[in-house]
Amino acid sequence: MPSKKGRVFSGIRPTGRAHLGNYLGAIKNYVALQDEYECVYCIVDIHALTTVEDTLDLRTNTFEMALDLLAAGIRPEETILFIQSHVPQVTELHTFLSMVTPLGKLTDLPTFKDKVRQNPNNVNYGLVGYPVLMAADITLYRTDLVPVGIDQAPHIEFTREIVRSFNYRYNTDVLIEPGMKNTEIPKVLGIDGKEKMSKSLNNHIEIAATPEETRKRIMQMVTDPQRIKRDDPGNPEVCNVFALHKIFTPQVDVDMIDVECRRAGIGCVDCKKRFAENLNQAFEPFRARRAALAAQPAQVHAILADGAERARALAEETMQAVRRAVQLP
């Protein structure tokens, strides 16, 4: 195998079964990156605690996300896939990094303000320190690159600032400033056609759903709002179904829909049925692999345990250098 270009790290929240937005925005890219990079992927259960108060489903949701990642094509024999809390060194590094991170900067971050708006009754310390824990995740594994969409670039810049502060404070170069692997992350709208696809808004389509469930969700999708009647000509460029057709439908059919929609030659019901067929076809192999993995939970837990062991080895190496740099007695 040709040598890889460097180490990529990314964390994904344990939100249970992934939806189309998770898949197109992160998971698909995770799979592709394996061809060129040494990849370390983490299901960030500790991060989830900042907003999840009832942890009853946390284990199940973490397991479901692991199933989705593996079924989508994460190759555990080469990629390190693990659960964040199984590498406790991350919380130790988080503590050290928090000493060099000004509180004002954290509370000024737009993401913190958003979280406060979303969780006004649970503004906990963890929410403030979230970017520091993220910096710990990234630096613990001596990450070269973090895959990011344009809107996430400031988070990585913030990690780089924390790394510089740490290295300056302790006169060391032990932590590496991560680079960014700019990635085109499509904004996937939910079936409401307005908001980003999200479980909390219940506007999502799960990639592991059955073909029938998928079809039902697709038939509920909002299309071009100007197209009220079957005879009205439509505008594919403002239609969310069309946006997804462009990803899952052969180009020749996309071109046909583009033309036919504009002259009311195809109705939205038929257009959605075609999309449902194509989406179900695209995820058929994924669903078969997922079902096989779900039938062998012990094997999935063994994969995650092996990933955690390999991640702990990397983490401990970093932490030994960090502890030396901090000159702990």
Residues classed as catalytic? 115, 196, 199
Residues at the interface with ligand SF4 (CB under 6 A): 223-224, 227, 234, 236, 239, 241-242, 257, 261, 266, 268, 271-272
Give per-residue burial for 94-112: e unless 16+ CB within 10 Å, then b.
bebbbebbeeeebeebebb
Least distance between ligand SF4 and beta carbon 223 (Å): 4
Least distance between ligand SF4 and beta carbon 264 (Å): 8
Least distance between ligand SF4 and beta carbon 240 (Å): 8
Least distance between ligand SF4 and beta carbon 280 (Å): 17
List residues bridging with 41 in a β-sheet.
10, 81
User: What's the token pair of residue 110?
Assistant: 């737009």
Closest CA to 178 of 310, 38, 6: 6
CB 127 within 8 A of CB 159: no
Taking the least distance from each CB to ligand SF4, the nearer of 7 and 227 is 227
Taking the least distance from each CB to ligand SF4, the nearer of 136 and 271 is 271
Q: What whole-number distance in Å separates Cα of residue 92 and Cα of residue 193?
A: 42
CB 147 within 8 A of CB 29: yes
Q: What whole-number distance in Å separates Cα of residue 132 and Cα of residue 113?
A: 16
* Edge-to-edge strand ranges of the sheet holding 179-182: 80-83, 38-43, 7-12, 145-148, 179-182
Taking the least distance from each CB to ligand SF4, the nearer of 133 and 271 is 271
Closest CA to 158 of 172, 169, 148: 148
Which residues are CB-neighbours of 16 under 8 A, at least 6 positions away?
A: 57, 60, 61, 64, 65, 199
Taking the least distance from each CB to ligand SF4, the nearer of 52 and 219 is 219
Taking the least distance from each CB to ligand SF4, the nearer of 266 and 276 is 266
Backbone phi, psi, residue 106, to 5°:
-70, -45
Q: Residue type for 212, please? A: E
Least distance between ligand SF4 and beta carbon 271 (Å): 3
The torsion of the CA quartet 298, 301, 185, 221, rounded to 10 degrees, works out to 40
Taking the least distance from each CB to ligand SF4, the nearer of 49 and 243 is 243
User: What's the token pair of residue 3?
Assistant: 């040598």
Taking the least distance from each CB to ligand SF4, the nearer of 155 and 274 is 274
Least distance between ligand SF4 and beta carbon 94 (Å): 46
User: What's the token pair of residue 132?
Assistant: 């520091």
Q: How many residues does the chain have?
A: 329
Least distance between ligand SF4 and beta carbon 158 (Å): 39
